[in-house]
Amino acid sequence: MKKRILSIIIAASMILTLTACGQSTPSGSSASASPTSGAATGGQTDDKVYGDPIIIGLSLPVTGEQAAGGLQAKCGAELKISEVNEAGGIKIGDTWHKLEMRIEDDQGNSDLVLNTVNKLASEGAVAILGPYFSGQAIALNDTVKELKIALINSCTSVKIRELQNPWLWRNRCDDGINVQIIGKAVIEDGATKVAIMCANDETGTAAAEGYMKYFDSKGIPYHVEWHTKSDTDLTAQISKCIAEGCDAWVSSTHDTAAVAMAKGMYELGLRNQKVYMNPILAQAQVLEMMEPEWVEGWRCVSDFSYTDTREEQAEFTKKFIAKYNMNPDVQGALYYSHATVLIDAIERAQSTDREAIRDAIASTNGLKTLVGTSYASQYTDLLYEIGIAEIQNLEPVIVGSVSVAEDYGFGK
Amino acid sequence: MGAANDINVLQFIVIGVAMGFIYSLVATEYTLIYNATGLVNFAHESFIVLGAYLFGGTFVRALGLPIWLAITLAIVSMVLFGIFASTIVLNPLRNLQFVTYAMFGTMMLSRIIIEACRLLWGPLPFTVKGFLRGSINIGSAALPTSYVYIIIVSIVIVTGLQIFFKTTRTGKAMICVSQNKDAAALTGINVTRNINITVAMSAALCGIIGILTAPLFNINTGMVASTALKGFCAGIIGGFGSYPGAIVGGILVGLLEQFGIMFFPATYKDVVAFGVMIIFLLIRPSGIIKAKKA
């Protein structure tokens, strides 16, 4: 009898603990739950009349495999919002408003993001920064139309633009542009047969299709190998590429698989390879998991590097390190820029109405942000330039940049 | 490179055997707990993760200890944790009226441990720099150093377990308990203490698996999710409850997985283990080597 009671008590306590743990992770985290809490809201000044804070939502992976990227993104957005609040906030009409950031953890999951976006919208967010993955953005296609809430993110799949959704925006070069830049670079580097190693998610498949199309147009042979974004052993795929005689590599993948690819190539004896990747290679948390010799000389397209000595980028890096005690990486810079675009849109809209803000985003023209100059196309795209980084001693060093804005009719 | 070559079959065999030993270790751990308690320990994956975090997160990165000392302390910590988990959770659970409740209990224990790891060490994955890096050449194949250690340690552990069970008093008592707890109790064996020892050994084994797989998968809360499942499959294929079966099943799964990659897209490699497990469950549920029971 005593054992039965004890067993029931143990089982019940575990159920309660599980429930508590579950509530503490997926959707319960908010960076600032009220106007008076959290670093993003700042203080008040004496001669301004303040109204209700303007809520900016963030839907990002706070936990899960991409938590590191999510943390960078959160910090980047928070830094920009803090700067605006410290300067007094945003003036709409005669009333000033502070900005309040609310973050929900979607764990990089396409099902959870539906819940987080709905929650942020119901809490009064005027727009949302995020999500992290292209697959999530695509999953939100109908939801954002119903909620009439704009999203600004870094999702690069060309399929997002094909949705022609006026509520989905990205302030980053899409994979189509990145593929052309990388494809051109790898051919100029002397490749005779290219290994295309891509994740089998939305980002990777769109990029792989772009690479295949580009190399077909240039008459360059290639071999494609797929992996999942959480794959930790790519030895088999790399071996098959070696057997195919590939002498150059292009890749569009995510954190874990990028590390696996670098490790696998090194352990299979591949040295001094021509490797070009998507911006994941320049992310601090990814390089942190690598050994220097794995990726020395590898290149990637990259929106940002903390080693960039240009004035604006260096100043951002300095402020980021001072506030967060870590180097900013691509996601930090991107979400700082996304927040810049959104805040500019709110100021031009002179309204907290979501449709007015969406219309203001859609009329962005020549706004200088940290990662480049933003021009709004008819649907989705805001940015048409990107840098090329080379990894030197585990640091991404910007060695060049490419802008195709004029090709799309902007900035002339 | 530049000219096409034949696929290096030796490379696939070498990696298949190495991964097979990882699955064998995992299957051995399942077998230890199952034989001692009659429970399938679904907290097993979290034990491995905890071992990796203790080693990499606390003893190496936080405390800066030498690798050999960090490994020793991690294993000792896992032994103590195993005794704790056995006393508080597994021993009480095995006496529940319905075994399903007990299995749910181990699942919840797993969730608690994983969340505790995330809270204690943070959500960001990390690695132990310079630990078991590099590779050696076996003919035309390259075998990562970490796999070499996995194979050596696996052989030592499996051999050691066999010697332990056959020659030591405690080991023989554990065999008795696994075959018939009531009869073992009647002969004067302290079943509860025996189970505590078994779980402690299992936790130590999980710690070792966590340490060995840290350079392969990087340390994060999901580092062995797939491996733990495939180890379970290996146990079923080899014969659940049989130590030799765990080895055979593990190596078979590892090799089949790599041969599958040779002919099919690599993204389907996880299907191999589960597909073979289903086939065995349908045609030979006792596995390749049937476990001996009293």
pLDDT, tens digit, for every residue of B209-246? 999 999 988 898 988 888 888 998 998 899 887 888 88
Q: Are B222 and A288 a contacting pair at CB < 8 A?
A: no
Domain coordinates in residue numbering, chain A: 27-173+312-381, 175-302+389-408
A300 CA to chain B: closest CA distance, Å? 22
Q: What burial class does residue B169 get, using C-beta atoms within 10 Å of its C-beta: 0-12 exposed, 13-18 middle, 19+ buried?
A: exposed
Residue B27 neighbours by CB distance under 10 Å: 30
Which of B95, B261, B265 is the closest to A3 by Cβ?
B95
Provide the token pair at B110. Answer: 């797993």
Give, in order, the Cα–Cα distances in Å from B90 to each of A237, B85, B107, B236: 41, 6, 11, 22
Handedness of CA A231, A237, A242, A247 (dihedral sign): negative
User: Strands A395-403, A90-92: parallel, antiparallel or unpaired by DSSP?
Assistant: unpaired
Each of the 412 residues of chain A gets a pLDDT tens digit; together they read 655 665 566 555 555 544 444 433 333 333 333 333 333 444 455 678 899 999 999 999 998 778 888 999 999 999 999 999 999 999 999 999 999 999 999 999 999 999 999 999 999 999 999 999 999 999 999 999 999 999 999 999 889 999 999 999 999 998 889 999 999 999 999 999 999 999 998 889 989 999 999 999 999 999 999 998 888 889 889 999 999 999 999 999 998 899 999 999 999 889 989 999 999 999 888 999 999 999 999 999 999 999 999 999 999 999 999 999 999 999 999 999 999 999 999 999 999 999 999 999 999 999 999 999 999 999 999 999 999 999 999 999 999 888 888 888 897 6
Class of domain A175-302+389-408: alpha beta
| Burial classification of residue A16, based on how many CB atoms lie within 10 Å of its CB (0-12 exposed, 13-18 middle, 19 or more buried) | exposed
Closest CA to A141 of A379, A376, A352: A379
Query: Which two tokens mark B294?
Result: 């009293």
Which residue is associated with the tokens 């392969």?
B216
CB of A327 within 8 Å of a chain B CB? The answer is no
Cβ density class A275-291: b for 16+ within 10 Å, e for less: bbbbbbbbbbbbbbbbb
Domain B9-283 of CATH type 1.10.3470 = yes
Element (H, E) at A60: strand A54-60
Residue A255 with chain B: CB contacts under 8 Å? 125
Answer whether A269 sits within 8 Å of B142, measured CB to CB. yes
Domain boundaries, chain B: 9-283
| CATH tag for A27-173+312-381 (out of 3.40.50.2300, 1.20.58.220, 3.40.1170.10, 3.40.50.10860) | 3.40.50.2300
Q: Same CATH fold, A175-302+389-408 and A27-173+312-381?
A: yes
Of A4, A237, A269, Cβ closest to residue B266? A237
Helices (DSSP H) in A2-133: which residue ranges? 2-24, 67-86, 112-122
Tell me how crowded residue A326 is: count the other CB atoms within 10 A of its CB.
Answer: 16
Point out which residues pair with B126 in neighbouring strands.
Answer: B219
Tell whether A324 lies on the interface with B, counting CB pairs under 8 A: no
Record: contact A236-B89, CB cut-off 8 A = no
- Amino acid in position A195: A
Contact B108 A240 (CB under 8 A): no
Contact B286, B241 (CB under 8 A): no
Query: Does the global pTM surpass 0.80?
Result: no
